[in-house]
Chains A and B, each alone.
Chain A
Amino acid sequence: MTAIESPRPASIPLLRVAAVTALVATGFFLPRLLGGTSVAYSTLTTIAIFAVMCYGADIVLSYLGEVSLGHTVFWAIGGYAAANLSAKYGLNGWVTAAATIALCLAAAAFLGAVTLRTREFVFSLVTYAAAVVAFEIAFNWDAVGGSDGIVGIPPLKLPMLVTNFSGAMQEDLWPVAFVLLLLTLAFIARFRRSRLGTTALMVQMNPALAASLGVDPRRIRLAVFVISAPITGLAGWLYAYQRAYVGPDMFESYFLVMMLTAIVLVGRRILLGPLIGTALLITQQNLLSLGGDWNKIVLGSVLALVLIFWPAGLVGLYRRIARTP
């Protein structure tokens, strides 16, 4: 199923709005429905943050067909921007979020521009190398945290016109994570229907057609890569507040493997795919953990096995089972 032919029941908009509203309301009260414990809150907040992180990489992988191995850079930019600006200068969440978006756009524009002429695996190599180099810089440059990172990030403050929100506890961060996830989903849904989204898909699926229509594939690639960066960046921004610590471990390959696995597990180009994938993986890691090294084996194996045996993900597997009686 591609974004272009995805079902669009325009004839019954009321029903659709009602269903989405019900789903959103259920989603918001999900931690309370699951008992309201702090474990429920922190697990669901982590799922929301990681899902947003995955959606950034998802745009590039699903709609551009390229594998960006450098999205941990944007993830870390978000984390480091939040940590440095709030811990050292006492700036509030709006400012750190704006800084995250600006820095991610700049970094993605630079990385996208230098890799503009590279082909598929060279693009992946360079983005991967960029992540390793960014790690080296974050590890050695004491001004942004160095090898120890930054401890004692103050609680997230988002002053609004009337209220003065402050997220000190996991329970307080959940609404922020949930809203960020909703905004991301709305953005992705909009992107799928947008001119850029459909053109990117055309460039990936039928480059000859795209070329004959006068589309410049490089411009499309750069644009998609650049808009994907702040999404992952904002996830890193919230992750810094959730953990109250930021360090070079934000570059760990865990996050990269996590992004890719969550995207391919359910199936590419499915709106809720990365969210469901993230939920399954985080549930395994947080609630059914087998220990760090075994979790690595599980995560890596899931990634490899899905692509080898069911390239269309769980949705493809379901369709195949449904078709053969």
Chain B
Amino acid sequence: MNIAQQIINGVVLGSGYACIALGWTILLGVARLVNFAHGQLYMLGAFVTWYAITRVGLPYPLAILVAMIVLGVIGLLMQSAMMRLVMTQNLTSLMIVTLGLGYVLQGGSALVFGGNPQTLPGTLARAKLEIGSLWFTWQDVLVLVVTLFLYGAVWLFTQRTRFGSVIRAVAEDPKLSELFGINAKVVYLGVFVFECSAVALGAALVAPRSPILTSMGFNEVIMTFVVVVLGGIGSIGGALAAGLGLGLFTAFFGAFVAPAYTTAAAFALLLALLVIRPAGLATK
């Protein structure tokens, strides 16, 4: 029975990883951009949700919306500031700039939200569902359903619509796409705003499982890296599979080996893969 419970835990964890990693997958895969402030954006998304629920008194769904809008605006500001670096594809500088901005977000959030751990009330994280000896919460079901829906929607959007091909054209060659009358700057802005809103949504859904702190975000960012690289950079289906696989791996490793070293184990998995298949699992 323990194994069945661990499978449930793995799917629960994995859908969370996949949900948080979605924005990064799109940003990296579709627009070839990187964002090292991802962990801090996750933290901020969780705290904006918390603020909207406890201080403003909004219901949970509205608070999620507020977090997505606030983070979207922050994404718009960040990307506008970085636009010159983005257009010249200066990835090295871009990496460092996002790292610096993440540090600013961390300091700013500590000033605004204080240094104490908080919990998100009013969510479904305490609505337990028991089947025999197995259990999970309605929040877990919500995360899984939203994640599957989002991955499906994003896959359809990028692969099957005209806008999707426009974004992919910009990723291939921003200069060339501008010759065809595409405004690459708007596309980059849109993708970055999506990344920030998606991580806000992920944070609002996943963060209620545990107390939140303004210093958190590192664990989420590492898991996101592992998901994105394992899944094959930019592969949407690969990221979903990698997220769920990583969740199962983490659940079993935590249950049967050593819960304190799960991040280290996930990282070892990543290293092993990089040595065997540098381009990720999804490539042929």
Chain B residues near A295: list those with CB within 8 A: 107
Q: Verify if B103 is at the interface (C-beta below 8 Å from A).
A: yes
B100 x A257 contact (CB < 8 A)? yes
Q: Verify if B46 is at the interface (C-beta below 8 Å from A).
A: no
Q: Verify if A132 is at the interface (C-beta below 8 Å from B).
A: yes
**Do A117 and B278 form a contact, CB below 8 Å, given A67-B96, A125-B229, A303-B99?**
yes
Q: Verify if A201 is at the interface (C-beta below 8 Å from B).
A: no
Q: Verify if B148 is at the interface (C-beta below 8 Å from A).
A: no
A308 x B97 contact (CB < 8 A)? yes
Chain A residues near B90: list those with CB within 8 A: 311
A126 x B96 contact (CB < 8 A)? no
Q: Which stretch, A92-100, A133-141, A208-216, touches the partner chain B? A: A133-141
Q: For residue B142, give the distance in angstroms from its CB to the closest CB of chain A.
A: 28
The CA-CA distance from A69 to B82 in the complex, in Å, is 20
Query: How many pairs of A and B residues are in contact by the CB < 8 Å rule?
Result: 131
Q: Verify if B271 is at the interface (C-beta below 8 Å from A).
A: yes
State which of B34, B36, B104, B218 has its C-beta within 8 Å of the C-beta of A297. B104
Q: Verify if B263 is at the interface (C-beta below 8 Å from A).
A: yes
Chain B residues near A311: list those with CB within 8 A: 90, 93
Chain B residues near A308: list those with CB within 8 A: 81-82, 84-85, 97
Main secondary structure of the interface of B (DSSP, over half): helix
Q: Verify if A153 is at the interface (C-beta below 8 Å from B).
A: no
- The proximity string for A residues 105-126 relative to B, scoring 1 for CB distances below 8 Å and 0 otherwise, is 0000000001101101110111
Most buried by B among A121, A124, A140: A121
**Do A260 and B99 form a contact, CB below 8 Å, given A67-B92, A133-B263, A308-B82?**
yes
The CA-CA distance from A115 to B233 in the complex, in Å, is 16
Q: Verify if A300 is at the interface (C-beta below 8 Å from B).
A: yes
Chain A residues near B226: list those with CB within 8 A: 129
- The proximity string for A residues 10-35 relative to B, scoring 1 for CB distances below 8 Å and 0 otherwise, is 00000000000000000000000000
Interface residues of A in 224-258 (CB under 8 A from B): 253, 256-257
State which of B28, B100, B219 has its C-beta within 8 Å of the C-beta of A304. B100
Most buried by B among A69, A132, A292: A132
Chain A residues near B218: list those with CB within 8 A: 132, 135, 253
The CA-CA distance from A73 to B268 in the complex, in Å, is 16
The CA-CA distance from A301 to B105 in the complex, in Å, is 10
A303 x B271 contact (CB < 8 A)? no
A122 x B93 contact (CB < 8 A)? no
Chain A residues near B81: list those with CB within 8 A: 304, 308
The 15 sampled A-B contact pairs (Cβ below 8 Å) are A67-B96, A124-B36, A133-B222, A137-B264, A260-B96, A264-B96, A293-B107, A293-B110, A296-B107, A297-B104, A301-B100, A301-B104, A304-B104, A307-B96, A308-B85
